[in-house]
Amino acid sequence: MKKLIIGGAAIAVLGYLGVVGYLHQFDKENATQLLMENRYTGEQEKVAKALFDNSCQYCHSQNTPLPFYSKFPIVGDQMQSDIQNGLRAFRLDRLVEGLKDPSKLSQADLAKLQRVLENNEMPIAKFRHLHWGSKPDEQEKVALLNWIREARKMSLPKETPNVDADRLVQPIPDSIATDEAKVALGHDLYFDGRLSGDGSIQCHTCHQLDKGGVDRLDTSTGIDGKKGPINAPTVFNAAFNFVQFWDGRAADLADQAKGPPTNPVEMGSHSWDDIVARFEMDEEFKKEFLK
Ligand code: HEC
Ligand code: HEC
């Protein structure tokens, strides 16, 4: 009996080691393939290799070939849910695009990566039980952290006290370059009811400058007293947001500002043509801004 148990345990251990060995090989091939496809050079390659060699792509990039167990019932479902959560938390595909073109790098992605590296948080523990090779070693960590520091340096706000390329969060600049005429136009439009269908709603209705840039309501009230589904964030310093809206669906302020005037539960204008027509009737406005 004892022999049987020892024998069984030995087979189980061998089976486990076999799977671990197989996965190690699979991970290496996957990493090599990705590096070949992407043709990185020099320092970029070092960074990409450190990420791919540690299997970060399985849960943080779309369409990566997955290990065999991802097709098993239960284990596969677990993997899919890790991938879903992983993609929501951090996009490696976006980060490695930024390796080639730094203008595509997100400062938020860099900060998240720095944090998980410093705290040895990734990959998640259950993944490491099967993928023994998937944990950034000291050398890889140093290479990644150095690259993060250099990439961050390029976008630190200029002439701003207390910036520090090692820190996750930077101070915002004291001022930004603006065009006076555009500021005047923006100010007028911000308080102009004609952006709304019946003249009653301004940007300022929901983002009041004397109330911290918000309306102090659980959810905003738009045209005809219609209630929106979500809380209005402040407009103060919104120019520095890395994306706009709670879910980041607008890339910047220009992209964001297109939304409210024609949103049926916010300003309720039928179309931009309607809005332009209303402004074209105003001789004063035309003289000043629509030259
Ligand atoms: C098996 C799947 C899996 C692998 C492999 C994996 N991650 Fe993750 N990662 C996740 C999940 C799940 C989350 C979300 C964690 C949470 O919500 O607790 C996450 C979160 C993150 C975050 C965001 C953390 C935050 O605070 O927002 C970063 C950055 C990250 N992972 C980097 C990496 C890196 C770098 C690697 C490779 C060394 C890696 N991950 C490998 C599943 C994975
Ligand atoms: C009826 C209320 C209402 C009006 C009018 C309104 N907003 Fe908003 N605003 C909101 C709400 C609610 C959100 C959040 C929506 C979301 O995240 O889906 C928002 C989001 C924003 C954001 C994003 C801020 C951030 O932190 O992501 C900016 C900037 C903004 N509004 C500016 C404006 C401007 C400019 C106007 C006028 C053209 C305007 N808003 C009109 C309610 C309003």
Contact 136, 117 (CB under 8 A): yes
**What is the arithmetic mean of pLDDT over 263-289?**
87
Please name the residues in contact with 39: beta carbons below 8 A apart, sequence gap of 6 or more: none
Q: In whole angstroms, give the CA distance from residue 46 to residue 94.
A: 17
Per-residue model confidence (pLDDT) at position 145: 96
pLDDT(84) > 70: yes
Q: What is the mean pLDDT of the chain?
A: 90
- The two tokens of residue 17 are 């080691």
What's the start-to-end Cα distance of the chain, in Å? 96
Q: How far apart are CA 184 and CA 193, in angstroms?
A: 16
Contact present, 112 and 90 (Cβ < 8 Å): yes
Q: Is the CB of 54 under 6 A from ligand 1?
A: yes
Distance in angstroms (rounded) separating the CA atoms of residues 37 and 219? 48
Q: How confident is the model at residue 290 (pLDDT cuts 50, 70, 90)?
A: low
Q: What is the pLDDT of residue 9?
A: 85
CA-derived radius of gyration, the chain: 27
Question: 166, 132, 162, 161: which is closest to 149 by C-alpha?
Answer: 166
Pocket of ligand 2 from Cβ distances under 6 Å: 195, 201, 203, 205-207, 220, 222, 228, 230, 232-233, 235, 238, 241, 244-246, 253, 256-257, 260-261, 266-267
Name the percent of the chain lying above pLDDT 90: 55
For residue 12, is pLDDT > 90? Answer: no
pLDDT in tens, 19-64: 888 888 888 898 889 988 888 888 899 999 999 999 999 999 998 8
Q: Which atom of ligand 1 is nearest to the CA of 135?
A: 38
The whole-angstrom separation of Cα 70 and Cα 58 is 11
Query: What count of residues does the chain have?
Result: 291
Among 215, 216, 218, 212, residue whose Cα is nearest residue 203: 215
CA–CA gap between residue 134 and residue 154 (Å, rounded):
30
* Residue 283: predicted pLDDT: 84
Q: Which atom of ligand 2 is nearest to the CA of 222?
A: 1
According to the model, what pLDDT value does residue 242 have? 82
Model confidence band, residue 291 (pLDDT cutoffs 50, 70, 90) = low
